[in-house]
Amino acid sequence: MNHRLPVFLLCLLLTACGRSGDADDAEASTAAARTLVTPATAQRGTVAQTVTLYGQVEAGSDSQRMLVAPVEAIVAAIDAPAGSRVRQGQRIVRLQPSPATRAQWQSAQAEAQAAREALARAQRLRADGLGSQADIEAAQLRLRSADAQRTTLQARLAQLDLRAPAAGDVQRVLVNVGDLLAPGAPVASLAAVGAGVARFGIDPALIDSLQVGAPVQVQPLDGRPSFSANVRSLSRVPDPQTRLASFLVDIPAAYAPSPGQPLAARVAVASVRDAVVVPYAALLDDGGQPYVYVVKNGIAQRRDVQLGPTDARQAAILAGVRAGEPVVVAGGTALEDGMRVRTQ
């Protein structure tokens, strides 16, 4: 009997150990069966929904300059062809006087000299008592007219080097070397750079979300740095070709916009303050109905939500989630409502 008691106790001990091991294995198996998710806490904050729009710098009437031939002239050289960026005062086209203009200049000089001599002769005759005061006045009038014509022609001849009146881009050169040009003939057009405006297209359904003065982040598409600008005016009438409404943006002179320059712009079309905000990764969709999973007591609860503005990082929740609740941001696609989960 003394030998049987230890054996009996040993059997009881082994049985208890076996049951404890089975319970641990079952608990471990249950934990492993739970879906692993990553939660994030819904918070209160501000979300601005932005859109990217495209447009270009417009050629304002005050930025267009046309260079013309000051006199009849021949094109001697084209120093800045179309597409050139020029500084103020830089020569674009060089002209030389035509044979007819040279003859006109020589005639003007001769006429001025003759008028001067005629006045001197009239003054001598008047002093000798052989002329009248009227003769002197007529000679003076002739001299003033001759001098004015000579001075005007001289000033025009000094403009044969056609230079940029302001910094800008040469848009067109309308002549070729050797061409004979009439006085006033257009030679080249220049788009002056400086403060300007850009027009951007926008969906007509979004135009009412903008206001005059609203900030716009403008990005030149030629690689230059972005800059801030403001909405100048709105046009709700759709363009017949693009079917887009549009708005104008003031472009600072410091960014030297040139007409036709392509631009992109980011503008806020909706925003909310002090709203419940969740990471954008938490959003799921069921046939157009947005929803999230909220973790409560280890259980994933599906919550249909009403969305407010969204951006690339976060979304405003107008209904369906309260601030402070944990929402699933990774692993949600494998969940169903009521599933047990474990978090990391």
275-285 burial, b for 16+ CB within 10 Å, e for fewer? Answer: bbbbbebbbbe
What distance, in Å, lies between the first and last C-alpha atoms of the chain?
Answer: 57
Which helix (H) or strand (E) element contains residue 75? strand 73-78
Q: What is the pLDDT of residue 298?
A: 92
State pTM to two decimals.
0.49
pLDDT in tens, 127-136: 888 888 888 8
pLDDT tens series, the chain, 344 aa:
444 445 544 444 445 455 544 445 544 445 456 889 999 999 998 888 888 999 998 866 556 789 999 999 999 999 999 989 899 899 999 999 999 999 999 999 999 999 999 999 989 888 888 888 888 889 899 889 888 888 888 988 999 999 998 888 898 999 999 999 999 999 999 887 766 789 999 999 888 888 888 889 999 988 888 898 889 899 999 999 999 999 999 887 777 667 788 999 999 888 788 889 999 999 999 999 999 999 999 999 999 999 888 877 889 999 999 999 999 999 999 999 999 999 88
Q: What is the pLDDT of residue 194?
A: 66
Q: Provide the token pair at 256.
A: 């030297």
Q: Provide the token pair at 200.
A: 């951007």
CA-nearest of 108, 142, 149, 107 to 122 is 142
Q: Which domains are delineated in the chain?
A: 35-61+196-344 (2.40.30.170), 70-184 (no CATH)
pLDDT in tens, 178-221: 999 999 999 999 887 766 789 999 999 888 888 888 889 999 98
CA-nearest of 263, 211, 224, 240 to 58 is 263
| H-helix segments, 85-172 | 99-127, 133-157
Nearest-angstrom CA–CA distance, 28 and 30: 5
Q: What is the pLDDT of residue 166?
A: 82
Contact 240, 40 (CB under 8 A): no
Q: What is the pLDDT of residue 26?
A: 45
Nearest-angstrom CA–CA distance, 171 and 83: 6
Contact 196, 57 (CB under 8 A): yes
